Structure 1
Amino acid sequence: MAARQGGGAHGCPALPLANGRSIPVLGLGTSHQGGYSHDAVVYALQKCGIHHIDTAKRYGCESLLQKAIKDSGVKREDLWITTKLWHSDYGYENTKKACLESCRRLGVEYLDLYLIHWPDAHVSGKSNREVRAETWRAMEELYEKGLCRSIGVSNFLISHLEQLEEDCVVIPHVNQVEYHPFQRPQELVDYCRSKNIVFEGYCPLAKGEALTHPTIIQLAKKYGRTPAQICIRWSIQNGVVTIPKSTRAERIQENCKVFDFTIAEDDVEILNGMHDGRHVSWDPGLIV
């Protein structure tokens, strides 16, 4: 799946989704851990040409983002905004209500991408599969109405995706999963590609663990780059939409400077070979 130029802002390449829309391959992640920086978001939007913002109800910063987007002066149609549905809002009616509430907090009339955050539903008396199917039916309706321009899932494994395909009509456009040199779930990536689901990766720096690895430091020296740039470039070269997080302007700038060099194929293979299965975030492996 080759990235094409022009779909993203300021020359940031974009990947085509199954519905004909294009998602910028590099985004700015936000989170509930480590705080939130208004200035960093405005900086990313204004100065770095990062127009892809990834958030979630769970992170508690949707209304803060509304202000940052407004202050940036970037037009709504030039932005890609992703947010996520938290499991306390799963279910048919709840999902529709939660989507409208996220839109209200973000100050937008539609979402570019809405994701089911996590495959575990925590609903007593119903299986996870039942709740996921019911939730997804609401997502499909939101998509049909244009309230969500694209819909997808996060932290879903092959088994979860297979069940969803059996239970539903629209196949997710995106699956957002932890992805970095130590956690490269290639079987899941291949499965998503076979279903035309774009694979999106979070924690590309393994929450900093990748930045001190001798192999990554060595490659950074070889290419005259930083370890973070090596990790992000590697992820993008593997065809993964990549969303690093930072609250510091200089880090965001560093993370964006990844389109003017290429990692040689044999070095990509070295990084691919570093997979050891560790998770720095959630492990959805135990969820049925």
Structure 2
Amino acid sequence: MDGLHSTITLNNGVKMPRFGLGVWKTDNHTSRDSVATAIRNGYLGIDTARQYGNEQGTGAGIKLGLEQSGLKRSDLFVTTKLYNGEQGDYDQVSRAFENQLKDLGLDYVDLYLMHWPVDKTYLESYHAMERLYREGKIRAIGVSNFDNDRMKNLLDEAEIVPAVNQMEFNPTNQEHEILEFDRSHKIEMTAWSPLGGGASLTNPVIETLAKKYGRSTAQIILRWEWQRNIITVVKSTHGKRIIQNSQIFNFSLSAEDVQQINKLDQGKRALWYDDFQWHNPKGAFANSIAQWSDTKK
């Protein structure tokens, strides 16, 4: 199946949608509206995180979207992530997870990811996630932002191979070595920032292909990622764009045009370990969700 309901089978047999909506940098109210719009228009994959500060809004959007679409909870695939500041032993991680379920208004999540590999805690935290998985409130577990060294360390210690590694992936950052290593261990890659933070939308190669195919530059990039077999979660807060982003299934890029985009890789990451304060005291992002402000409306 080639469409919004297309799935990929993870290494534990769970089927995950190959295309979904992300809600990074959106407040609770915007998340609610975006998620409900996406579900009404055929999206089955929803991706959020504790660090985004919008799990309550995402949960409200899921509830509203299900009511408006007539779908059941089991029709959706909901991903959230263990917050960096709540990593630790089983008691700490399980307490954090239960609070996330409460905020989301859900009895379970389909995929629970470790948001970043905080060096002092990621192994202990992953063992806690393995235990939560065995307890049945998580259908699959995985990680995010793991380079190959940290992934090797994790695989040496883990009892359950991560189902997913969510990485920044876009035309200028294609993570060849990480993608190859993960796939060799049956770990699927999910793309965050699939449009390169918007920068790839104005790339001359992408613009030329958009004219050639009569598509938006975003649609060209998302179709390229689809043909690269990368699971993709794309953020938008605009209803028309949420719909437009999903309209990539009635055309294909030629093999030559896929290669054109492949050649755009520059290995440029928007964020990496040194950007965060627990690695670098001068880093741009604190170990806090305070930056994700929200106001009542």
Once the two structures are TM-superposed, the CA of residue 285 in structure 1 deviates from its matched residue by 7.3
1:26 lines up with 2:16 in the alignment? no
* Distance (Å, rounded) in 2 between the aligned partners of 1:201 and 1:20: 20
| Residue of structure 2 aligned with 1:151, choices 131, 136, 141 | 141
What RMSD in Å do the two structures reach over aligned CA positions? 1.6
| Superposition deviation, residue 261 in structure 1 | 1.2
In structure 2, which of residues 7, 10, 28 is the aligned counterpart of residue 14 of structure 1?
7
Paired residue for 2:33?
A: 39
Q: Does 1:284 align with 2:273?
A: yes
**Letter of the aligned partner of 1:108 in structure 2?**
L
Query: 2: CA distance between counterparts of 1:65 and 1:139?
Result: 22
Q: What 5-or-longer segments of structure 2 have no aligned partner?
A: 280-297
- 1:191 and 2:189 equivalent? no
What CA distance in whole angstroms lies between the structure 1 residues aligned with 2:170 and 2:145?
A: 14
Deviations 1:175-205 (A, max 9, x none): 0000000000111101111000011001111
3-state SS of paired residue (2:81): strand
Q: In 2, distance between residues paired with 1:244 and 1:266?
A: 25
1:110 maps to what in 2?
Answer: 108
d(CA) in 2 for partners of 1:95, 1:192 = 25
Match of 2:157 among 140, 146, 167: 167
1:254 and 1:146, CA in 2 relative to 1: closer, same or farther beyond 3 A? Answer: same
TM-score (ref. length: structure 2): 0.87
User: 1:51 deviation in Å?
Assistant: 1.3
Q: Percent identity?
A: 37
Go from structure 1 to structure 2 and tell me whether the alpha carbon gap of 1:149 and 1:234 turns closer, same or farther (over 3 Å shift): same
Once the two structures are TM-superposed, the CA of residue 69 in structure 1 deviates from its matched residue by: 1.3
Q: Is the 8 A contact 2:26 2:54 kept in 1?
A: no
- Preserved CA contact (<8 Å) 1:40 1:249: yes
Aligned pair count reads 270
Alpha-carbon separation, structure 2, partners of 1:133 and 1:84? 15
Partners of 2:74 and 2:31 lie apart in 1 by 23
Q: Note if contact 2:31-2:54 (Cα within 8 Å) is conserved in structure 1.
A: no
- 8 Å contact 2:31–2:57 — kept in the other structure? no
Secondary structure in 1 aligned to 2:166? strand
Match of 1:85 in 2: 82
Residue aligning to 2:291: none
What CA deviation, in whole Å up to 9, does each residue of 1:53-107 have, x standing for no partner? 0000011111112211111123110110000011110011211111111111101
Shift of 1:33: 5.1
Q: Distance in 2 between matches of 1:180 and 1:192?
A: 17
Runs of 4+ in 1 over 3 A off after TM superposition: 284-287
